[in-house]
Amino acid sequence: MVDLKRQYQNIKTEVDTAIQEVIESTAFIRGGKVREFEDNLAKYAGVKHAIGCGNGTDALQIACMALGLQEGDEVIVPSFTFIASAEIIALLKLTPIFVDVDYDTMNISVEAVKKAITSKTKAIIPVHLFGQCADMTGLTKVAKDHNIFLIEDACQALGATYMLNGEQKSAVGMSDIACTSFFPSKNLGCYGDGGALFTNDDELAANIRQIANHGSRVKYHHDIVGVNSRLDTIQAAILDVKLPHLDDYCKARQKVAAKYNEAFANVKGLDITGTVENSTHVYHQYTLKVTNGKRDALKAHLAEQNIPSMVYYPIPMHQQKAYENERYVSVEGDVSAQLSECVISLPIHTEMTAEENEFIIEKVVEFFD
Ligand SMILES: *Cc1c(COP(=O)(O)O)cnc(C)c1O
C-alpha cells in the first residue's frame, strides 16, 4: 500500500545524519531537536503552538483532557472512522455519540451533527478522513452556535488546506485543538510512533504540555492528573528532515490520485470520492466505492496480480462490540454501514511510478469490463 523503503532511500543521508546526531548528543528524551521540530511544524501549519506527543491517539486524549471534558459529557464523532477517535472518549468516561457521514465525501455529516446535539454535548471531533477536510464551514458554525469545542482529528490530513470564510487554513488550524499522527504510513510519518497537538491558545498550549508531562509544570510538582506522552528526540529529528518534503509528498499523492480519478470516473460499478467544497485532498488513502456489490471479488482479482488493497473501514463504530450500545444518529439510512460494505482503498504513496499507477488502473478497469 505504501513504499517507505524507496522514500527513505531518497533522503537516507540526511536522515542517517540526523539520527546519528541525536545518538551522539544522548538527549533522547525532550532533547532540543523536539522543540526545534515543534517550532518548524507550527510555522508550517500556520498555528501558534505545535506540541509533540507519543502518538495520534494520545494527542486526541490529551486534547479532551486539556479542554476539561468531564465524565458524562457527550462528544460527537463520526461512526465511519478509525477506532482511536472513539476509544479515547470511552477511556475518559465521556459519552461518545456516533453520527453518520456523507456518502460522497465519507466525512462527518453536519446535518447528523446538528441532530445529535443535546444539552450535554461538549465537543465535536470531526475526522478529516483519508486526507480531505470535513465541512469546517458548517462545523465551526454549529460549534459556535452551541458553544461547544471542536477538536480536529487531522491524523490523515496534515498538509491539506481549507478555505474557511475566505481565509486559507491548514487542516490543523481550524479548531480549539487539532491532533495529528506521525505513524510511519501517515502523510508525514516517522520511524516509529509519534503525534502532535496544535492550538492558537497560549493557556491551552501550556495545559497540553503539562498534561503530556505527568501533569507537571515544575518538576515533581503535580497539580493535575496527567499522562506520559512524549515525542522521542530521534523521531523529532527524522520528522524535521521530512517536514520540508511534505508538500512535495502531498503533490506526488495528488498526481497518482488524479490519474486514478480520471480513469475511474466513468467506470460503471465504481464511485470515486466526492470533493469537499473549499478543501484540498492530500490522499492519505485513495478510496473507491464499489457499487455493484463486487468489492470483495475486486479485492481478490487485484490480489491475484499482486496488487494490495485494503478495506478502511470494514465495521463502523456503532457496530463494534465495544460500542454497540452507544447512541448513533443518522439522517437518511445508514451510510456508515453502507460504506463499510463497498469501500476499497488502492495503493498510493509518494514514490509510485507512472507505470505502477497505470498497471493498477488497467487491472481495476479490466475487472469491470
Ligand atoms: C492514525 C490515526 C489515529 C491514531 O494515530 P496513532 O498515531 O496510530 O495513535 C487517529 N485517528 C485517525 C483518523 C487516524 O488515521
Evaluate: CB of 107 within 6 angstroms of ligand 1: no
Rounded to an integer, the average pLDDT of 162-171 is 97
Q: The domain that contains 185 carries what CATH number?
A: 3.40.640.10
Domain that holds residue 58: 4-99+106-245
Cell 496488487 sits on residue: 307
Q: Which amino acid residue places its CA nearest to atom 14 of ligand 1?
A: 155
Give the total number of structural domains in the chain. Answer: 2
State the average pLDDT for the chain. 97
Domain boundary among 220, 245, 270: 245
Domain boundary among 245, 276, 306: 245
CA dihedral 79, 83, 89, 90 (to 10 degrees): 100
DSSP 129: G
User: In the predicted model, is pLDDT for residue 60 greater than 90?
Assistant: yes
Q: Which amino acid residue places its CA nearest to atom 12 of ligand 1?
A: 155
The per-residue pLDDT for range 348-366, each reduced to its tens digit, is 999 999 999 999 999 999 9
Evaluate: CB of 153 within 6 angstroms of ligand 1: yes
User: In the predicted model, is pLDDT for residue 14 greater than 90?
Assistant: yes
Instruction: Give the Cα separation of 72 and 255 in Å (integer).
Output: 45
Evaluate: CB of 229 within 6 angstroms of ligand 1: no
- One domain for residues 171 and 294: no
- One domain for residues 193 and 165: yes
DSSP of 156-201:
TTTT-EEEETTEEEETTSSSSEEEEE--TTSSS--SS--EEEEES-
Evaluate: CB of 199 within 6 angstroms of ligand 1: no
- One domain for residues 228 and 250: no
Rounded to an integer, the average pLDDT of 224-239 is 97
- One domain for residues 230 and 250: no
Q: Read off φ and ψ for residue 108, nearest 5 degrees.
A: -50, 135
The per-residue pLDDT for range 130-147, each reduced to its tens digit, is 999 999 999 999 999 999
- One domain for residues 241 and 299: no
Stated as kind and residue range, the H or E segment containing 336 is helix 335-342
- pTM of structure: 0.97
Stated as kind and residue range, the H or E segment containing 19 is helix 4-25
Q: Report the candidate in 282, 37, 283, 285 with the shortest Cα–Cα distance to residue 161.
A: 282
Domain boundary among 218, 245, 272: 245
**In the chain, what percentage of residues exceed pLDDT 90?**
97
Count Cβ neighbours within 10 Å for each residue of 279-310 and write b for 16 or more, e otherwise: bbbbbbbbbbbbeeeebeebbebbeeeebebe
User: In the predicted model, is pLDDT for residue 286 greater than 90?
Assistant: yes
- One domain for residues 154 and 25: yes
* Per-residue model confidence (pLDDT) at position 85: 86
- One domain for residues 272 and 330: yes
The per-residue pLDDT for range 81-129, each reduced to its tens digit, is 999 988 999 999 999 999 999 999 999 999 999 999 999 999 999 999 9
* Per-residue model confidence (pLDDT) at position 167: 97
- One domain for residues 65 and 205: yes
Q: Which of 55, 155, 190, 229 to mutate to test the pocket of ligand 1 (most atoms within 8 A of CB)?
A: 155
Q: The domain that contains 274 carries what CATH number?
A: 3.90.1150.10
Name which of 86-90, 133-137, 241-245, 313-317 the model is least confident about.
86-90
Cell numbers that stand for 88 in this block: 479515547
Instruction: Give the Cα separation of 128 and 142 in Å (integer).
Output: 17
- One domain for residues 69 and 151: yes
- One domain for residues 206 and 294: no
- One domain for residues 70 and 212: yes
Evaluate: CB of 249 within 6 angstroms of ligand 1: no
- One domain for residues 241 and 264: no
